[in-house]
Chains A and B, each alone.
Chain A
Amino acid sequence: MQLQEELAAVLREHGALIVRIARSHESDRGRAEELVQDIHVAIWQALPKFRGEANVRTYIARIAQNRAITHVTREARRPRSAPLEDVVEVLPSEAAGPEDAAAETETRRRLQRAVGELPLALRLTVTLALEGFSPDEVATVLGISSSAASVRLHRAKAALMDKLNSGEA
């Protein structure tokens, strides 16, 4: 029962992060849900081993990214880059009116599409950056040095901005 409560608390706190990471790697809604399930189950199995040497958010992101890699590399086809028309669920916008809200939704879709189209190595890094992870935390998740993480973050952010600015996404 204690494990169930721990899992419930983790999912309440980090559930959205898990889904966002999953969707960044899989644009097909059905398959993204399967990936989310995979990640949830992996978290449930890994939770008893969590000893607090990293913070929970880093631990969850690591599990999510590992499962996403397994998913992406095992998929028979390349992840599809279909528009994420029906997957955006947003917080109430602080934008002034419906036009601003629509523009924000469109920008968010473009952002999600651009992230989904990045090569896997950059996507891993850029999703962590967008989730607000520091270079040290990115290094912990990826298992690389902090300086390597900084280089990766710089490249990933630049690649994302290029994609957004070039209007490819």
Chain B
Amino acid sequence: MSTNDWTELTRLWQSDVPAAAPALEVMEWQRRRAWAWRLTAIVDVVVTIFGVAASLWVMMSDKPNGAILGAGMLALTLLAGGGSLWARSLRRAPAADVSVLASLDTALHRARVSVRYWFSVFPVNVGYFLFLAMLAFVTAFGDPPASLPKMLVALGGAAIWGAIIQGISVVYYQARLRELGRLEELKRALDESAP
């Protein structure tokens, strides 16, 4: 490779001069993103508050198995709310103005924690299905309430909801695994050049 070749390539590369975005447009993008971020955070908080209130209401009601059902609902609501808050903190990109290697280390740490978290979600989901199965068993064979069909429909709905969440978890887990693999590959490649 001659110096002339490289000089020519550099000239050629830099002769592609795309138009820059106006600063006002950039600030508008940022405002829109910040609003979208806030909106989803508000939805998370509202859903968690609603879930906690509903759980307490079920626990204190005189419905059959209300205490077990309410306690289960409360545990799952708090777990989902906490998980969402935690995932939100991880989705924020690491500081952009540090060196590539420092940024990569932060991204690697987050990806590893993320993979571990999503791996740990599987046993929680298994626990959720066991909880539903136990409720269905107690409801059907214990002291069947008058509203048995409604209860079974509710449990069926909860099982479908759990299956959807499980499906999303699997997809998310695989995506995070791929991300982790690419980050580790990049880290290895950058480390290889260290003399």
Contact of B194 with A by CB under 8 A = yes
Contact at A41–B12, with CB atoms within 8 Å? no
Q: How far is the CA of A152 from the CA of B192 in the complex (A)?
A: 9
- Given the interface contacts A15-B19, A63-B97, A140-B99, does A44 sit within 8 Å of B193 by beta carbon? no
Q: Which positions 164-190 of chain B face chain A at CB distance < 8 Å?
A: 175, 178-179, 182-183, 185-186, 189-190
Contact in complex: A112, B16 (CB < 8 Å): yes
Q: Cβ of B20 and Cβ of A69 under 8 Å apart?
A: no
Question: Is B146 part of the binding interface, using a Cβ–Cβ cutoff of 8 Å?
Answer: no
A73–B107 touching, CB < 8 Å: yes
B24 at the A interface (CB under 8 A): yes
**Chain B residues touching A, majority SS:** helix
B99 touching A46, Cβ below 8 Å: no
- Which residue of chain B has its CB nearest to the CB of A130? B13
Q: Is the CB of B20 within 8 A of A15?
A: yes
Using a Cβ–Cβ cut-off of 8 Å, how many residues does chain A contribute to the interface with B?
72
The distance from the CB of A50 to the nearest CB of chain B, in whole angstroms, is 7
Nearest Cβ in chain A — how far from B116, in angstroms?
Answer: 17
Known contacts: A66-B96, A73-B186, A143-B100. The answer to whether A89 contacts B19 by CB under 8 A is yes
Q: Per a CB cutoff under 8 Å, which of A45, A67, A142, A148 touches B99?
A: A142
Does any Cβ of A come within 8 Å of B30's Cβ?
Answer: yes
A55 vs B104: C-alpha distance when bound (angstroms): 22
A7-B17 contact, Cβ under 8 Å, with A69-B104, A74-B179, A76-B178: no
Question: B153 at interface (Cβ–Cβ under 8 A)?
Answer: no
Given contacts A44-B27, A63-B96, A145-B194, 12 further A-B contacts (CB under 8 A): A4-B27, A8-B22, A20-B18, A63-B97, A65-B100, A70-B93, A108-B15, A112-B16, A121-B193, A142-B190, A151-B195, A155-B193
Interface residues of B (CB under 8 A from A): 1, 5-6, 9-10, 12-24, 26-27, 29-30, 33, 93-104, 107, 111, 175, 178-179, 182-183, 185-186, 189-190, 193-195
11 pairs, A vs B, C-beta closer than 8 Å: A5-B23, A11-B21, A12-B20, A37-B21, A41-B30, A43-B26, A73-B186, A76-B175, A90-B16, A122-B189, A130-B10
